Amino acid sequence: MSDIHKLSGAYALDAVDDIERAAFERHLAECEDCRLEVASLRETTALLSESVAIAPPASLRDSVLTGISQIRPLPPVVVPARRAAWFPLLVAAAVLAVVGVGLAAWQPWSSTVDKTDQGSLTAAEQVLRAPDAQSVSVDLGDAGQATVTRSKALHKAVIKTVDMSDAPSGQVYQLWLQQHGELVSAGLMEGGGNQEIVLEGDAATASAAGVTVEPAGGSQTPNLPPVALFDFSQAT
């Protein structure tokens, strides 16, 4: 087996330079074993991270890459034939040892949003591009369309409207999260049109989101049934 096979773990962790990456991607097109190994490692680390969601420190990326460079094993002279079965778990365990629970907050291979500088994204963009983002849409007919996207990992939800009619004069759209069967205020939406608004509150524990028409300034509880209700159990 050539040395290029040994790059599968480092490639999955985004710990290769540009030359290694280009060479290994050419190799991946021809080597099914390495493709399976990379997929296995990514699946394993993703499962390990699902139960934790915390805000990562700004230095996390540098710490991960530095740690990986310190613990990455040198290529052995002879690689056992069963290496593919245990190597992904070995690398995943090594990463956990370096970053602890912070692995759930940053996975360099999981999606575009993870590899993008979070400081360049708005709060709404972070939710919309989160790896676990799920959406549910409501067609309001002539009044437009609205979609709510939720990321449980970020504990946030975003409502995105398209050509939505303005609220009647002297009234506003009020946003709600349904918690334990009750609608809890999640902010106001001035006007209609095309908007992206992050709902206030913990969306991870909510079963639905809603929109009502309320007097200017909003209400403590809805005065009328929701004009749109987004059932998170139907999100895709």
Give the helix/strand (H/E) hosting 113. helix 112-115
The pLDDT tens digits of the residues spanning 117-174 come to 556 889 999 999 999 999 999 888 877 889 999 999 999 999 999 988 888 888 889 9
Say which range, 4-8, 24-28, 166-170, 231-235, has the weakest mean pLDDT: 4-8
Q: Residue 54: is it exposed, middle or buried by C-beta count within 10 angstroms (0-12/13-18/19+)?
A: exposed
The residue ranges of every structural domain in the chain are 3-110, 123-234
Tokens of 6: 């040994």
What pLDDT is attached to residue 71? 58
The per-residue pLDDT for range 33-62, each reduced to its tens digit, is: 888 888 887 777 666 655 555 666 667 677
